[in-house]
Amino acid sequence: MRRFFTGIVGAVVEARAELRIHRTRVLLSLIGVAVAITALTTVVGLGAIAQQSTLESMERGGGRAATLSAYTYSATGAAIDSATLSAAVETIKERYAISYSSTNGNVTMGIQFADGVAQVNTQLVDVDFATMHRFQVTDGSWFQSGDANRMAPALIVNEAFWQRIGSPDLRTHPTVTITGTYPTTGVIIGIGSQYQGDPSPSAIMLTDAYVAVAGDGQFAQQPPSYEFWVPEEVAEPLTTAIQRDLTAAVGDGASVSVNRNDYAGYGGEDPLLPVKLIVTGVAVLILFLGALSLVNISLVTVRQRIREIGIRRSFGASAGRVFFAVMMESVVGTFAAGVIGVFLAVLIVENPTVQELIAQGAADLPPFPIEAALIGLGAATAVGALAGLLPALVAVRVKVIDAIRY
Amino acid sequence: MALLALAGVTRSVRLPDASVLEILRGVDLEVEVGDHVSVVGRSGSGKTTLLNLLGLLDSPTHGTIHFEDRLVSKLSSGARDRARGADIGFIFQQFNLLPGRTALENVMTPLLYATGRQFWKRTSIAGEMLERVGLSERMSSMPEKLSGGEQQRVAIARALVRGPRLILADEPTGALDIETGATIMKLLDDVAETSGAALITITHDANVAALARRHYRLDHGTLTPVDINRMLSLAVPEVTL
């Protein structure tokens, strides 16, 4: 035990002296490692943000995992009773404890603009839709649960719509007239769209608010679709259960289709696999280059080390002790470089400008991924071990007297 | 009992063409405590191989090596390393001081592989050793700032700092002028005698070999006692290689 303890302390003393004496070489080689680790960790960190951005982009379209979509079709041409359907959906939500759901539809509403009435595509949704699809308004606010009861229904309009009415300040509660048999005033409470850059005016409205204004006649031929956000692990049995329950509710004259629409439900290859592969490939390449430079420097200096190690061996340093000291010297050095590299990577990845550039509007920016830091430190240690291994193995295997006389 | 005893030691290596080259053949040697033995031989005679075996850096192909009563030729590599560190001190022709380290740090180096007091008190022990070789004023000097003689003194202090019982000097004056070489050899002899360590000098210089009490000649792997004075008087070329 005493020998082991003094061995450890002795190896630390040796490594410290070695680092002091060869500080220029060590510093130069470690700068290379630190830069490589910074690059590696930054790529992994930014990769996580890019991945999140891609994920959110997919979730904005198909909903978060797992989103089940239910569609009903009339098999005979006869209307499907939307009230029955709605009641069945409420039962399903209650029975399976589904917290988030949305009744969706697409209709066309006449909107009175200054230059005349225009038919505007209107997306009908429920309040939960924003959570389920990561929908965010660029200005104003999303619907509240009480908005369905407003006498003047709330509207969220897209950029083109808003500009067409003169880009009013939302704090002034701008209104538009919804034309029809019973013209109604709609209040614009937010600006945003699921489809960025749509040049035509479009709007989003709560389904219940629309029914209150226009009645459910619209749904007679084209019933609304329903979305349910459920835990992924029960998505499959719930798909079957909802299909069964809705089929039972609508009767024989209609068919029901329930399926997953979110990205994770596509099946087959992971849709994020290309991103992951690219990020991993770049990271490995960077690390390989960093490791190569360090190994190169280590091999260049191995001759010098052989002589020194030969001298140490002649004074009683065992092969294991020499191996440990040389390895530790390298590993401790690269670990320190790794810590610096990870620190720099955190500064880069957490930089708001960089995040904005990579995230492309992602809402839930992930914190600096701990796995990136661990990968960085692990890679630094592995590179140090690898770079220390070669000279250590060479030095340990060499004939001591030959090494000294070299 | 002899401090070091080699009996019938043979060392051979297998060459790439599968033939066997015998480097040492049936070497018998006994070294007593406080003894001073010299081994002369020309290049290729097997001096380095003998040094490897004496310094426990290698194992014989045949034969035995005893250090006191321990059969060291059969020890494990780790045990040989520990025995070498504790009982054997090396002095090299080219001094082999570690660059970038002061004289004191060089002398401290072997103590890094010691345990107990020798390890923890290594600075003071190394300082005392440098004083013994007359370098108390040069402790902080780097090797390149020291003369050849001073460097070899540091090397001697380093070899003796753990109190070895056997000192192996490999061409200890090979890199020194005649006068400095003589001074160094006297110092080495004195320090070895004071510490009671046995000294084996391996050299090609018959004049250096003559300083020992017993003399051997290594020729084609065979070690034989030799009358060094007779060789010196005959000025046989191979002993002043």
pLDDT digits (tens, 9 = 90+) for A148-175: 888 899 999 999 999 999 999 999 999 9
Higher pLDDT, A392 or A343: A343
pLDDT surpasses 50 at B241: no
Interface size A-B, in CB pairs within 8 Å, comes to 82
Cα–Cα distance measured from residue B37 to residue B212, given in angstroms and rounded to the nearest whole number: 5
Task: Mark which residues 285-314 of A lie under 8 Å from B by CB.
Answer: 307-308, 311-314
Give the pLDDT confidence score for residue A119 in this predicted structure. Answer: 92
Identify all chain A residues contacting B98, using CB atoms and an 8 Å cutoff.
308, 311
Residue in B49, B54, B67, B81 to test binding to A, most A beta-carbons within 10 Å: B81
ipTM of this model? 0.83
Percent share of chain A, pLDDT over 70: 93
Mean pLDDT, range B162-187, rounded to an integer: 84
Q: What are phi and psi of A203, to 5 degrees?
A: -145, 160
Q: Identify which of A102-106, A287-291, A293-297, B66-70 has the greatest average pLDDT.
A: A102-106
Structural domain harbouring B105: 4-239
A6 to B77: CB separation less than 8 angstroms, yes or no: no
CA distance B200 to B68: 16
pLDDT digits (tens, 9 = 90+) for B41-87: 888 888 888 988 999 888 899 999 998 888 888 888 888 888 888 89
Confidence of residue B210 (pLDDT cuts 50, 70, 90): confident
B79: domain CATH number is 3.40.50.300
CA dist list (Å): A241 to A98, A141, A198, B111, B192? 13, 35, 37, 78, 95
Cα–Cα distances in angstroms (integers) from residue A81 to residues A73, A248, A249, A325, in the given order: 11, 13, 10, 81
Which residues of B fall within a CB distance of 8 Å from A17? 101, 105
Rounded Cα distance between B44 and B202, Å, is: 13
Interface contact flag, A316 B109, Cβ < 8 Å: no
Query: Token pair of A393, please?
Result: 């193995």
- Give the nearest partner residue to A401 out of B48, B113, B120, using CB atoms: B48
B174 touches chain A (CB under 8 A): no
Average predicted confidence (pLDDT) for chain A: 83
| Mean pLDDT in residue range A83-94 | 88
> Tokens at residue B217, please?
């000649």
Tokens of A341: 């590299």
In 3D space, the residue among A71, A106, A56, A107 whose CA is nearest the CA of residue A227 turns out to be A71
At residue B61, the pLDDT reads 92
Does B240 score more than 50 pLDDT? no
Query: Do A2 and B105 count as a contact with CB atoms less than 8 A apart?
Result: no
Residue A131 has pLDDT above 80, yes or no: yes
What mean pLDDT is reported for chain B? 86
Confidence check: pLDDT of A248 > 50: yes
Q: How many structural domains compose chain B?
A: 1
Task: List all residues 6 or more positions away from B154 whose beta carbon is below 8 Å from its beta carbon.
Answer: B95, B97, B103, B106, B107, B130, B133, B135, B138, B143, B146
Task: Please judge whether B96 and A311 are an interchain contact, meaning their C-beta atoms are less than 8 angstroms apart.
Answer: yes
The DSSP bridge partners found for residue B27 are: B9
Residue pLDDT, tens place only, B73-132: 888 888 888 888 889 998 887 788 888 899 999 999 999 888 888 888 999 999 998 998
Residue range A28-85, pLDDT digits in tens: 777 877 888 888 888 878 877 877 777 787 888 888 888 999 988 877 777 777 788 8
Choose among B105, B109, B116: nearest Cβ to A312: B109
| Cα→Cα distances B208→B37, B47, B48, B186, Å | 11, 15, 17, 10
CA distances in angstroms from B84 to A189, A217, A323, A340, B75, listed in the order given: 87, 100, 18, 41, 11
pTM higher than the cut 0.95: no
Does position A117 have pLDDT exceeding 50, yes or no?
Answer: yes
pLDDT of res. B66: 92
pLDDT 10s digits, A196-236 = 777 899 999 999 898 888 876 777 667 889 999 999 889 88
What was the pLDDT predicted at B239?
46
- pLDDT, tens only, A352-389: 888 888 777 666 677 788 888 888 888 888 888 888 88
